[in-house]
Structure 1
């Protein structure tokens, strides 16, 4: 299949699709450092570079009609995330979504695949996700949506993201999606979708087994600069047995969580009185774009931050891809940001396997 990579970042969607033999014909991104990495990783010489999709006219999209089988992308999620102010469509970043929908409307690919934060389901009391699903429905697509956790797809990162997949209505021969009866947000949303849109069985069955551990992606040797200072470690920890484990301060009744070798530790705001859930048992917590928020307990029971390479590995990228980006001159701070902004390659790979 030929596909267009929208809000491409460093190509998480692209790598997943290329693993399945599909071909990129155009990409769109506005971050100059992400573009730098993207062009270093992939051969884009014969592809159309679209730039800012919010400035594109319908006629510019029409050139791809009949030659594009799939549009993929995740529009900026900050406006829908619990980590942001959650202004949704009132935030200009949220309106990029409508440009994404318009691209689908004009090109009419066989499929699209859209990714965003899990918090999309609760934003504006659940109304935002309904607007999004309705928008896809109205431009001619049957839909399926699920929350996939990256830790079940071969990368040790606890990262929950919603993936919406659509198949053009005139091509859809998929059975209707069975809907569970329950009170969870996903159950209620699917019950709504069963009535308001065509909810189809398109996504693969969710996996529930962790197959990789954080230690599997760690570099053998890292610079001392990645280790937390003694001062920061003291702010983050309580008294502990230095031979076995560390007590990580958090806002729970006990006041700390035990972290052992190979566990991840959220190292942001070490003096915070409200943080909880800082420790990830043998998997990393969700990578963020704004900072290096993830550390790991090493075999000497010291905490160090993850390296940029380790963060790229946690998103399913190869070392070769990482070094192509790094060797092009992209800074470590941008490499961290790019990993935090990316989709997980392995999840995309799994989703697209079942699409023809």
Structure 2
């Protein structure tokens, strides 16, 4: 074998994987290689061909922000993902100078779209010293804003554990710690609606889980740090996103003055004199003749979609076909509107997920025999057409589906920038921010007192029964 040769050890080093995995790639022919004795070797050109094929994405190194200039407003981003929140925020307030993200595909996307940003990985390695070093800031320099949407998936099991003493290892809690260590003037904490009700057990609840315990703990932490916190559950459609995606947004400000709720730019039916919600057609209508990249509908399901019209789902089929298409799910309980669902150009899109072809939440094109494409996903989330998503197509779907709609980021940026400039944005009394009631910090405190009493009451009843 002529040319520069690479051993399995060298390939593993370059790919940032284990030597065992590198050897498997070489043995299976993913990287064209030869066995020499008991070892595997490949040419440098073969390695480059493998990388250029897109089969594997090398995790980029952490990177110190190259510029020594310090912007007027300093913002840092954590759990940055595809930067939907960051990009929207930058349009109305300021661009973060540091991103913290552990997923290699998202990290690659961050650097592909912003060569000037600093980048760090695991939040557990994000000490104040490392944060300042990679943001290229003097240690202790005042940070104005911290932005983040900590992964909430592990929090769903919090109610099954022995309170917060056992979930100190959760990234959600680490994000709160980072805010306490850096003490920005403002912070943003974005999460799913479930955060309002995730249970937790405390010493004073006699081992009984209390609904809303995680959020209660979070608010208490921030209050002890000296932050005034407001929050609300927002439907992104009220801020110009062509998508009915609901997210809870906590806004914190040092001091005793809370930030106001976000100012909507749209309303469902034109209430308050605002423009009506944007539709799927508004978002993707002009790119229908362009090039699209997407995953294929499984063969066993594709034929059913030929019988389903725009805006329809499995109920659009004949009774006989419904039973065949749905199988065992036909007799299952619960909402099933997402099965074999075709979207409607004249309505807002449902919430984009990490996979457009999950059986119970299909996101299939209104008229074509395919799911929404990467390009359409990106448009719905508000990214510009030249935004680059790295990785295989399934990873691109995952990045975009996990992102916060950029329009929601814009609304947050407007609110914080107005406060920095000493201005007030319009407020619409009685505006319905989402389809749910009692989703603000004032209602929550009242509800939490009731939930605590209910939990203690159940505990007392059990004790009397025993």
**TM-score bracket for the superposition, by shorter chain length:** 0.7 to 0.9
Give the whole-Å Cα distance in 2 for the aligned partners of 1:270 and 1:90: 44
Give the whole-Å Cα distance in 1 for the aligned partners of 2:410 and 2:311: 37
- Note the alpha carbon deviations across 1:106-138, whole angstroms, 9 max, x for none: 211110001000011122222121112222222
What is the deviation of 1:335?
A: 0.9
What is the deviation of 1:48?
A: 3.4
- Note the alpha carbon deviations across 1:307-350, whole angstroms, 9 max, x for none: 011111121111111xx335xxx221111000111111101111
Give the whole-Å Cα distance in 2 for the aligned partners of 1:93 and 1:216: 44
The equivalent residue for 2:350 is: 285
From 170, 174, 195, the counterpart of 1:95: 170
What is the deviation of 1:353?
A: 0.5
Moved more, 60-69 or 16-25: 60-69
**What runs of 5+ residues in structure 2 fail to find an aligned partner?**
1-72, 133-137, 200-210, 269-275, 318-324, 421-466
From 357, 366, 377, the counterpart of 1:298: 366
Give the whole-Å Cα distance in 2 for the aligned partners of 1:247 and 1:287: 17
From 251, 261, 266, the counterpart of 1:165: 251
Q: Quick check: 2:145–2:185 contact (8 Å CA) kept in 1?
A: yes
The equivalent residue for 1:316 is: 382
2:216 maps to 1:130: yes
2:128 maps to 1:53: no
From 268, 272, 276, the counterpart of 2:336: 276
Rg larger in 1 or in 2?
A: 2
The equivalent residue for 2:180 is: 105
What is the deviation of 1:50?
A: 2.4
Q: 1:53 to 1:246 in 2, by over 3 A?
A: closer
Cα root mean square deviation, aligned: 3.2
What is the deviation of 1:289?
A: 2.2
2:413 maps to 1:348: no
Paired residues for 1:1-356 under 5 Å: 1-44=73-116, 47-61=117-131, 65-80=140-155, 95-124=170-199, 125-169=211-255, 172=256, 174=257, 200-206=258-264, 208-209=267-268, 210-218=276-284, 219-221=287-289, 228=297, 231-233=300-302, 247-249=312-314, 256=315, 271=327, 272-273=329-330, 274=332, 275-278=335-338, 282-290=347-355, 292-293=357-358, 294-299=362-367, 302-321=368-387, 324-326=388-390, 330-355=391-416, 356=420
SS in 2 for 1:155: coil
- Structure 1 or 2: more strand by fraction: 1
**What runs of 5+ residues in structure 1 fail to find an aligned partner?**
175-199, 250-255, 259-268
Q: Quick check: 2:294–2:373 contact (8 Å CA) kept in 1?
A: no
| Runs of 4 or more consecutive aligned structure 1 residues displaced over 6 Å after TM superposition | 84-94
SS in 2 for 1:143: strand
What is the deviation of 1:276?
A: 1.9
Give the whole-Å Cα distance in 2 for the aligned partners of 1:92 and 1:335: 30
Give the whole-Å Cα distance in 1 for the aligned partners of 2:294 and 2:144: 46
Give the whole-Å Cα distance in 2 for the aligned partners of 1:333 and 1:92: 30
Give the whole-Å Cα distance in 1 for the aligned partners of 2:84 and 2:110: 10
Q: Quick check: 1:291–1:337 contact (8 Å CA) kept in 2?
A: no
Number of positions where the alignment pairs a residue of Structure 1 with one of Structure 2: 297
- Structure 1 or 2: more helix by fraction: 2
Q: 1:93 to 1:234 in 2, by over 3 A?
A: farther
**TM-score normalised to the size of structure 1?**
0.72
Give the whole-Å Cα distance in 1 for the aligned partners of 2:215 and 2:74: 28
Give the whole-Å Cα distance in 1 for the aligned partners of 2:225 and 2:316: 48
- Note the alpha carbon deviations across 1:197-230, whole angstroms, 9 max, x for none: xxx3422245533431112333313669767467
Q: 1:144 to 1:246 in 2, by over 3 A?
A: closer
